[in-house]
Amino acid sequence: MKTTPSTNARHGFDNLLILVQKNLKLLVRARASSLVVILGPLLVIFLAGLAFDNTNLYAVRIGTYSPAYNDLSNSFIDKLVERQFQITRYPSEESCVQGIRRGETHTCVLFPSDFAIGKNVSNEVRFSVDYSQINLVWTILNVMTTSVTARSAELSRNLTTVLLHALDFTRKSVADRKQNLIGLTTQNDEIGQRVANIQAELLEIELSFDPGEVGLGNLTSAKGVVKHWVDNSLNLGKTALAQAQHFIDAADELVRAAGGGSTDLTTALQESMDDIEELTARMESTDTLVQQEYAQLSTLIDQIAGRLTQTKSQIDLAASSQTFTLDELNVITRLLDQALLNVLTIQKSMNEIEKVIGAIQITDPEAIVQPIKTTITPVVAERSYLNYLFPTLIALIVLFTAILLTPTIILFERNSPAYFRNFMTPTSDFVFLASVFFTTAALLLVQLAIILAIAAIFFTQILHAFAYAALVLALFISACIFLGMILGYLFNSEETAMLAAIALGSMFLFLSDIIIPLESMPAVIMNIAQFNPLVLASDLLRRTILFDATFSEISVSLLMLVLFTLASLLLFTIVYVGVKRNAFSKYLARFAPKKEQA
Amino acid sequence: MVAAEALRRHIQDALARGAQRKDLMTLLLRAGWPQEIVTEYLGEAKAQSMPALVRLRGVTKRFGTNGVLDNVNVEIPPGSLFGIIGMSGVGKTTLLNMLVGFLEPDGGDVLLQMPDKTEVSVFKSRDIVKTMFGFAAQIPSFYAKLTVRENVEHFAALYNLPLAKRISQCDRLLRLVGLERAQHTLAQNLSGGMQKRLDIACALVHEPSILILDEPTADLDPIIRNQIWDLIRQINRQGTTIIVASHLVSEIEKYCSTIAILRNQRMTEIGTTAQLRDIYSKHYEVFLKTQRKEYAKLRAWCAKDSALFLNVKEKEGMFSVQTPQPRTALQQLLRIIAQNKETITHVNVDRPSIAEVFELLIRHENHPLH
């Protein structure tokens, strides 16, 4: 029969259908692992749909420990119970942490022993979390922090209310006490004035005294002069008396020497002698008297001098006291000035306090505790976790199904004895390769159709925005199938290919933002990971399914996905050409008797 | 056996003299020869008189330093049932793989005669090879997880047969190989013989001119082997040239019209059974079996005339002796038996089997017999 391009094409298409049909039959009839590959993703999405069709983490189990549970710690725990978390109280911190390690709980809340409000304590509530549960830890931390923050805010509101009450009371008290301060200022001023008066009075008191001015020295000098003169007079009288005595004696002796002279003379001499003796006696008496009087005068003058000295001392003391008093009054004046200054400062401060308190406009405790309220509004209408997970789940299912199923189909064929007979037929290699591609694609489409049907139960938006998503899926499916085909032709055993597929899938998974955010990766890895097809596809699917992105918004990422798909195709072509050269010889060697080639 | 050989030679001679095949068949059937035998021998004779359908010309193949085939030259006539025998590992499968172009030779070529009598190299016309050859490898080549019918239909589709033709062909082949009742059974659940038959059916879906069978009866029990050979002969009788490689020499000898012995990397001997026997042994072999199975006197008698009686053997209660004069030898032996009042239960005079020839060749690998 003559063959034309059109008949060739028809045969090619017929054969393609036959081969796809055959591949599907073989897969369905093959061992359970193939069914797992086919049905596994459907089961995953179904379970994910059931599991994540909510916005809470009800299954989170929380362990708590407090050395002494009190109302405050219990209120925190009640808050967690309100969110329907399962709470387990542990007897010790260690057992609580061990609970996480044993998998009994996801996190452990450790309250301090002196956990109370109003005391001067840190009130540090600690969370022990298992960072190895990398997919859960942030969610748990978020939930726990939210719960604790809520209770903490509640307490803050109470404390703020008390604080505001105190502030209000202060404001009123300041207003009331301002008059007192004004009175205090006036009184201070009055006191100052009086002190000034006292100072003036004191300054007017003259307490200067010079004893010299009294003439006591002159008196003493005069006393001495008088005494001198008296003494001189007395001495002169005595001398005169002595002279007189002497003359009389001399006269007497002369009389006597003259013989007895006249009795009268003698008598007169005697008498004169008597007189002189009497005068001398009297002189003596006068001297004694003078001495006594002088002594008395002297004593009196000394007494006067002493009194003057005493008076001076007293006046000096008074002057000193005056000086001291004036000094003190100066100090008092200064203190009064300082006090006035302080009062004025206090007054100013109180004015400022009154002004500041008066300036506080927010008096609502809620507004002070949470001056900025945050409300998280999802950018899409849906709010269940499945919505957010759905694009990523789709991308993951496509990736793993394609890279696991495609090598399975290829190696089913390559390791089948029928490969030999296929090689004998005129059906081209391209048709066989296309059959592998379309078998996997058909299975994936069936899976996706079922997934979408299941997803439609949980939410509906996806069905409206599937046009671009379909384009993204077509590209990503193609890229993943090409990767799977590379594995199918690179490896000769199904087991090795499976291991390689899992390794490749894991690599894509770990270099994506599914487990940890790209932003937390080292810069170099992040730059590489941005070109990860899984990242590209899940991002594109998220944007197309969840955000109804327009073509222009996704064009760059889409172009990158197209390039990756073409690169996969090119790489597959290189691998296939390289492997095919020896593939059939290897096949023959496997099935032909070894001895012939030994 | 002697008669059969005589018939074969007679047919060849008659055809060589220009006798018409139709006349010859009528004549032989009237003479009482079974139709099956006559058809087979006529077919063989026709094949030998026709130009080669497949021709190996100086084919050489090495795997690394290990030479497998060295300057192999074979011509396989159309319609023949061509047997290739050789020890395991001698290169039979390699040769078959080269016949269909799976392996390219290091030297030489494999030429295929086209309907317009032109010859093409199988290595340069792979599409033609794919349509003209059917191949049943030593290991059955089909999908174990598909049913018998699905397998046949699948391969029929890959040969671009239209749907209607595909179905009719499938029915015909399943009938031919006797798997009609098992057509909905998964191939993996078939017995060894049935799997081999399914494999042959798959190889025939596109009605190839040449069917290549590699060890078609290996690992099968004798009954199944016979069934497979019956099938092979049936296919051959329908006009398909069949090339069979096997290490089971007796089967090749029994069923193949032409036999090639592959040894020392070469096709050292090619011809019909009779021709090979003629080449390697001019002696006949007399087989006797008596009721008492006591052959001491026969042995003693044979020992007296070593020129007439050669290679005396007793095996499994049977007495055998080789001789260049079978008639004389048989007469003498019968006389001795009669003298001893023995009762003969079996007597046969035949040429040494190909198996024996093959055994002889192998035994004297390094000592040429002629």
Q: Which residues of A touch B202 (CB under 8 A)?
A: 421
Distance from CA of A463 to the nearest CA of B (A): 38
Beta strands in A24-132 (DSSP E): 61-65, 86-89, 107-110, 126-129
What is the band of B366 on the pLDDT scale with cuts at 50, 70, 90? very low
Q: Which residues of B touch A420 (CB under 8 A)?
A: 135, 137, 141
Query: A434 or B30, which is more confident?
Result: A434
Query: A409 or B18, which is more confident?
Result: A409
- Give residue B47's pLDDT: 53
Query: B28 or A559, which is more confident?
Result: A559
Is B362 within a domain? no
Q: Quick one: B192 and B77 in the same domain?
A: yes
Is B103 within a domain? yes
Q: Which among B145, B161, B205 is the top mutation candidate for probing chain A, defined by the most A β-carbons within 10 Å of its own β-carbon? A: B145
- Give residue A482's pLDDT: 94
Distance from CA of A576 to the nearest CA of B (A): 18
Q: Quick one: B176 and B248 in the same domain?
A: yes
Residue B250 has pLDDT above 70, yes or no: yes
- Give residue A181's pLDDT: 82
Query: A284 or B136, which is more confident?
Result: B136
Q: Which residue of B has its CA nearest to A7?
A: B160
Q: What average pLDDT is seen over chain A?
A: 79
- Give residue A478's pLDDT: 93
DSSP B5-37: HHHHHHHHHHHHTT--HHHHHHHHHHTT--HHH
DSSP class of residue A545? Answer: I
Distance from CA of A424 to the nearest CA of B (A): 5
Q: Which residues of A touch B106 (CB under 8 A)?
A: none
b/e sequence A524-563, b meaning 16+ C-beta within 10 Å: eeeeebbebbbbbbbbbbbbbbbeebeeeebeebbebbee
Percent of chain B with pLDDT over 70: 89
Q: Which among A412, A596, A597 is the top mutation candidate for probing chain B, defined by the most B β-carbons within 10 Å of its own β-carbon? A: A596
Distance from CA of A585 to the nearest CA of B (A): 8
How far apart CA B330 and CA B336 sit, in angstroms, is 10
Angle between helices A263-359 and A216-257 (to 10 degrees): 170
Q: Which residues of B touch A421 (CB under 8 A)?
A: 135, 141-142, 155, 202-203
Is B175 within a domain? yes
Query: A596 or A177, which is more confident?
Result: A177
Q: Quick one: B261 and B188 in the same domain?
A: yes
Q: Quick one: B30 and B7 in the same domain?
A: yes
Residue B323 has pLDDT above 80, yes or no: yes
Q: Which residues of A touch B91 (CB under 8 A)?
A: 596
Mean pLDDT of A377-381: 52
Among B93, B157, B206, beta carbon nearest to A596: B93
How far apart CA B82 and CA B74 sit, in angstroms, is 11
Mean pLDDT of A489-493: 87
- Give residue B149's pLDDT: 94
Q: Which residues of B touch A427 (CB under 8 A)?
A: 158-160
Name the H helices within chain B.
2-16, 21-30, 35-49, 92-99, 126-132, 148-158, 163-177, 192-203, 222-237, 249-255, 273-280, 296-304, 326-339, 354-363
Q: What average pLDDT is seen over chain B?
A: 83
**CATH number of the domain where residue B346 is located:** 3.30.70.1510
Q: Quick one: B252 and B299 in the same domain?
A: no
Q: Which among A26, A416, A420, A424 is the top mutation candidate for probing chain B, defined by the most B β-carbons within 10 Å of its own β-carbon? A: A424
Q: Quick one: B266 and B314 in the same domain?
A: no
Assess A584–B contact: CB distance below 8 Å, yes or no. yes
Residues from B contacting A (CB-CB < 8 Å) are: 63, 66, 68, 88-94, 97, 100, 102-103, 127, 130-131, 133-135, 137-146, 150-151, 154-155, 157-160, 186, 202-203, 206
Judge: B141–A420 Cβ closer than 8 Å, yes or no. Answer: yes
- Give residue A24's pLDDT: 84
- Give residue A10's pLDDT: 74
What is the band of B187 on the pLDDT scale with cuts at 50, 70, 90? very high
Query: A214 or B164, which is more confident?
Result: B164
Tokens of B202: 């798959």
Residue B367 has pLDDT above 50, yes or no: no
Mean pLDDT of A144-163: 78
Judge: A18–B158 Cβ closer than 8 Å, yes or no. Answer: yes
Is B370 within a domain? no
Is B368 within a domain? no
Judge: B141–A418 Cβ closer than 8 Å, yes or no. Answer: yes
Distance from CA of A505 to the nearest CA of B (A): 29
Is B178 within a domain? yes
- Give residue B363's pLDDT: 63
- Give residue B152's pLDDT: 93
Q: Which residues of A touch B207 (CB under 8 A)?
A: none
Residue A556 has pLDDT above 90, yes or no: no
Rounded to 10 degrees, the C-alpha dihedral A146/A151/A153/A159 comes to -160
Domain boundary among B219, B243, B277: B277
Q: Which among B92, B141, B153, B163 is the top mutation candidate for probing chain A, defined by the most A β-carbons within 10 Å of its own β-carbon? A: B141
Q: What is the pLDDT of residues B67-101, one digit of tens each?
A: 888 888 888 888 889 999 888 778 888 888 888 88
Q: Which residues of A touch B141 (CB under 8 A)?
A: 417-421
- Give residue A222's pLDDT: 78
Residue A595 has pLDDT above 60, yes or no: no
ipTM above 0.85, yes or no: no
Distance from CA of B223 to the nearest CA of A (A): 25
Residue A299 has pLDDT above 90, yes or no: no
How far apart CA A386 and CA A384 sit, in angstroms, is 5
- Selection from A537, A527, A532 nearest residue A512 by Cα: A532
Q: What is the pLDDT of residues B125-183, one digit of tens each?
A: 888 888 888 988 888 889 988 999 999 999 999 888 888 888 998 999 898 888 989 99
Mean pLDDT of A114-141: 69
Residue A483 has pLDDT above 90, yes or no: yes
Assess A424–B contact: CB distance below 8 Å, yes or no. yes
Judge: B160–A427 Cβ closer than 8 Å, yes or no. Answer: yes
Q: Which residue of A has its CA nearest to B162?
A: A11
How far apart CA A357 and CA A174 sit, in angstroms, is 10
Residue A57 has pLDDT above 80, yes or no: no
- Give residue A598's pLDDT: 43
Residue A180 has pLDDT above 50, yes or no: yes
Among A19, A421, A597, beta carbon nearest to B202: A421
Judge: B154–A18 Cβ closer than 8 Å, yes or no. Answer: yes
Tokens of B334: 């019968």
DSSP class of residue B51? Answer: P
**Global pTM value:** 0.62
Query: A385 or A241, which is more confident?
Result: A241
How far apart CA B86 and CA B358 sit, in angstroms, is 8
Q: What is the pLDDT of residues A454-473, one digit of tens each?
A: 666 665 555 555 678 888 88
Between the ranges A11-20, A41-50, B6-15, where is the mean pLDDT highest? Answer: A11-20
Domain boundary among B277, B295, B325: B277
DSSP class of residue A546? Answer: I
- Name the 3-class secondary structure at B315: strand
Q: Which residue of B has its CA nearest to A19?
A: B154
Q: Quick one: B300 and B267 in the same domain?
A: no
- Give residue B186's pLDDT: 93
- Give residue B370's pLDDT: 39
- Give residue A586's pLDDT: 66
Mean pLDDT of B105-118: 87
Q: What is the pLDDT of residues A332-349, one digit of tens each?
A: 888 888 888 888 888 888
Name the H helices within A360-428.
365-369, 385-414, 418-424
Mean pLDDT of A583-594: 60
Q: Quick one: B124 and B8 in the same domain?
A: no
- Name the 3-class secondary structure at B167: helix
Mean pLDDT of A49-71: 71
Percent of chain A with pLDDT over 90: 7
The range of the structural domain enclosing residue B332 comes to 283-350
Judge: A417–B145 Cβ closer than 8 Å, yes or no. Answer: no
b/e sequence A79-107, b meaning 16+ C-beta within 10 Å: bbeebebeeeebeebeebbbbbeeebbbb
Mean pLDDT of B7-21: 70
Distance from CA of B138 to the nearest CA of A (A): 8
Q: Quick one: B191 and B232 in the same domain?
A: yes
What is the band of A569 on the pLDDT scale with cuts at 50, 70, 90? very high
Q: Which residue of A has its CA nearest to B103?
A: A585
Is B359 within a domain? no
Judge: A596–B63 Cβ closer than 8 Å, yes or no. Answer: yes
- Give residue B340's pLDDT: 85
Judge: B159–A425 Cβ closer than 8 Å, yes or no. Answer: yes
Mean pLDDT of B346-356: 79
Is B101 within a domain? yes
Answer for the pair B185, B148: CB distance below 8 angstroms, yes or no: yes
What is the band of A563 on the pLDDT scale with cuts at 50, 70, 90? very high
Distance from CA of B64 to the nearest CA of A (A): 8
Q: Quick one: B44 and B64 in the same domain?
A: no
Mean pLDDT of A9-25: 83
Number of domains, chain B:
3
Q: Quick one: B160 and B174 in the same domain?
A: yes
Answer for the pair B232, B185: CB distance below 8 angstroms, yes or no: no
- Give residue B170's pLDDT: 92
How far apart CA A529 and CA A515 sit, in angstroms, is 13
- Give residue A136's pLDDT: 63
Q: Which residues of B touch A18 (CB under 8 A)?
A: 154, 157-158
Assess A11–B contact: CB distance below 8 Å, yes or no. yes
How far apart CA A232 and CA A246 sit, in angstroms, is 19
Answer for the pair A474, A564: CB distance below 8 angstroms, yes or no: no
- Give residue A484's pLDDT: 93
How far apart CA B365 and CA B261 sit, in angstroms, is 12
Residue A363 has pLDDT above 90, yes or no: no
Domain boundary among B248, B277, B306: B277
Percent of chain B with pLDDT over 90: 10
Q: Quick one: B64 and B156 in the same domain?
A: yes
